[in-house]
Structure 1
Amino acid sequence: MQLRRQPLSAPRPGDTRPAAQRLAVPLLLLLALQGAAASGEPEDSGWLQDAEPSSRLLSQAARAALHFFNFRAASPSALQVLASVLDGRAWVNQKKEYKFDLVFTTEFYRAEEGEKRLGTCSAQVFFRNDKPRPAVNVTCTQLIKKERRQEEDYQLYKLMKQLKSPLNAVRIPDSHGYIAPSLRPIWNLAFLGSSYVMWQKTTPFLHYFMSQISSVKQWKTNDDAIDFDYTVLLHEFSTQEIIPCRIHLVWYPGKPLKVKYHCQERQTPEEGSGTEEGSAVALTELSNF
């Protein structure tokens, strides 16, 4: 848009301000408009808002945000799953990149405790060129109390450290879908590590859920951390494929989770530890935990 040059108006009677000061406000307004155009807001950079985004697409983005939230929270005692999307907006551009603004509710992952609605989350999710590993900024409220979470994480940690021999188990749950109470903490730790993998692999059209632990082995360490090797089966929705993934997990209560993984792809095997190109080109954010 071209700006037409306007003649300078003569100062009004009684206006003794210098000409430079009289020009300051229009110049500041022009700079503000230029800054808004460069800010990358959806309406300024070729983004078109989807008037009626599908519930599947909004749920896809919400699940990706929760996978990231679970991984960064690094607490097997406070895992969350999606309950419902309360509100969501979506934008898409010519490159088939997607942006989402979401508000959704969550449920406590351990359904056997009878806890249903756990909290409410708001998130911004960005998928770049249909690639995995979306960029996420997520905030959640009304979570499990911090003191309770820390106590339960510590009790799990102490239990693992007191084992007389390193844990070595297979097929959790069993063929009947049963998880023994003694193995539930192991399942939660595996789900925690898998949250990282599922966030890394989620695209606008593919999402994942952990269906089984094929094997788990605990390693003795000289430091304070818990060190596990898992093989998990991830259910890839849309394609209905079952994908085996080897996950190496190092965990200590209150510390960032360390995860490395390798999944057996349908075509070309790729090493996956967050190094492949994805949507998240910068450190994504987590807050209110």
Structure 2
Amino acid sequence: MQPRRQPSPAPPPPPPPPALRPGAPLLALLLLLSLRGAAAVPEEPGQSQDAGPSRGLLQQAARAALHFFNFRAGSPSALRVLAAVQEGRAWVNPKEGCKVDLVFSTERYKAEEGEEGLGKCSARVFFKNQKPRPAINVTCTRLFEKKKQQQEDYLLYKQMKRLKAPLDGVSIPDSHGHIDPSLRPVWDLAFLGSSYVMWEKTTQSLHYYLAQLTGVKQWKTDDDEIDFDYTVLLHEFSTQEIIPCRIHLVWYPGKQLKVKYHCQELQTPEASGTEEGSAVAPTKLSNF
């Protein structure tokens, strides 16, 4: 009879892992965060990125940027309107407001038939918690040659200089939405000056459109500038209010536009402002 075999001894347990050095868990965490990329971190403390900003917010930012661009360009021939928003993102700071970066396409405001005038703009717009006058930085590609733009501006300038009698009592456009060709220069210049007013009054939820020009009076001056007063009706889309504004405008082709205005608010206190030369901050007026 063979002797009984003894079972083999169990293998020794694996050695314990080496102890982590002090601070190793923190280093590992920092490495993981760095691999995720800087885009996951808000640009500034207190801001959170909106994963999907609404179409309405992007369009609001684009409209505000165009009001500002039109005013700063100071050229009735360079006026633009929004075509479409291509892309955008937003950051929200509950204490400060909403910052929007976006890219959008534009078209010429008075595009001629058959003209291909689609341009592209990029902008950063900062809405300050429902306060008016958003801060804007906008850059746009040129729609047509600068020389052509200067020629069109000078042609409009000569047409305005020939304007003699005040146009009080007229409505541009008329009740059928038609603008007489002879009055088109007046409307374009009024639209240019109104761009400043609409930018100043825009908030994150309120936007404006020039509905009608109801009166114009041009002043004789000792220099070559166009100097005239006009009254417009601004349509505020969120409240559907029609707001009358008196605007004083001084313009000469190639020079910075000068604007003063006074609006009669229907539900809020009256507002007024001014913009001259390269100044940025408006100065409140006690009267017009």
Unaligned runs of 5+ in 2: 1-21, 24-40, 282-288
- Offset, 1:156: 1.0
CA separation in 2, counterparts of 1:222 and 1:96?
Answer: 47
Residue number in structure 2 paired with 1:171: 171
CA separation in 1, counterparts of 2:225 and 2:171?
Answer: 24
Residue number in structure 1 paired with 2:81: 81
Find the residue that maps to 2:76 and give its secondary structure.
coil
Contact 1:81 1:108 in 2 (8 A): yes
1:220 aligned to 2:226? no
TM-score by length of 2: 0.78
Larger RCO of the pair (alpha carbons < 8 Å, separation 6+): 1
1:162-201 aligned within 5 A: 162-163=162-163, 165-169=164-168, 170-201=170-201
Contact 1:213 1:230 in 2 (8 A): yes
CA separation in 2, counterparts of 1:162 and 1:234?
Answer: 27
Contact 1:50 1:89 in 2 (8 A): yes
Residue number in structure 1 paired with 2:32: none
Distance 1:140 1:239, change over 3 A: same
Contact 1:202 1:208 in 2 (8 A): yes
Equivalent AA in structure 2 for residue 207 of structure 1 = H
Contact 1:263 1:269 in 2 (8 A): no
Find the residue that maps to 1:43 and give its secondary structure.
coil
Distance 1:227 1:113, change over 3 A: farther
Q: How many residues of Structure 1 are paired with residues of Structure 2 in the alignment? A: 239
- Offset, 1:118: 2.5
CA separation in 1, counterparts of 2:67 and 2:156?
Answer: 21
- Offset, 1:94: 1.7
Cα-to-partner distance string for 1:106-135 (whole Å, 9 max, x where unaligned): 011014544354210000011112111011
CA separation in 1, counterparts of 2:257 and 2:248?
Answer: 11
1:270-289 aligned within 5 A: 270-273=270-273
CA separation in 1, counterparts of 2:134 and 2:90?
Answer: 14
1:62-141 aligned within 5 A: 62-95=62-95, 97-115=97-115, 117-141=117-141
- The percent identity for this pair of structures is 70
CA separation in 2, counterparts of 1:282 and 1:227?
Answer: 21
CA separation in 1, counterparts of 2:166 and 2:115?
Answer: 29
Residue number in structure 1 paired with 2:55: 55
Find the residue that maps to 2:147 and give its secondary structure.
helix
Find the residue that maps to 2:174 and give its secondary structure.
coil
Runs of 4 or more off by more than 4 Å in structure 1?
A: none
TM-score by length of 1: 0.78
- Offset, 1:212: 0.5
Equivalent AA in structure 2 for residue 59 of structure 1 = Q
- Offset, 1:96: 5.5
Distance 1:260 1:113, change over 3 A: farther
CA separation in 2, counterparts of 1:128 and 1:57?
Answer: 14
Find the residue that maps to 2:224 and give its secondary structure.
coil
Distance 1:140 1:189, change over 3 A: same
CA separation in 1, counterparts of 2:197 and 2:113?
Answer: 26
1:205 aligned to 2:205? yes
CA separation in 1, counterparts of 2:166 and 2:124?
Answer: 39
- Offset, 1:282: 6.5
CA separation in 2, counterparts of 1:282 and 1:258?
Answer: 12
CA separation in 1, counterparts of 2:116 and 2:166?
Answer: 31
- Offset, 1:167: 4.0
Instruction: Tell me how large the CA RMSD over aligned residues is.
Output: 2.1
CA separation in 2, counterparts of 1:250 and 1:42?
Answer: 43
Equivalent AA in structure 2 for residue 124 of structure 1 = R
Query: If you compute each CA radius of gyration, which structure gives the higher value, 1 or 2?
Result: 2
CA separation in 2, counterparts of 1:117 and 1:55?
Answer: 24
Contact 1:213 1:233 in 2 (8 A): yes
Contact 1:209 1:234 in 2 (8 A): yes
CA separation in 2, counterparts of 1:229 and 1:282?
Answer: 22
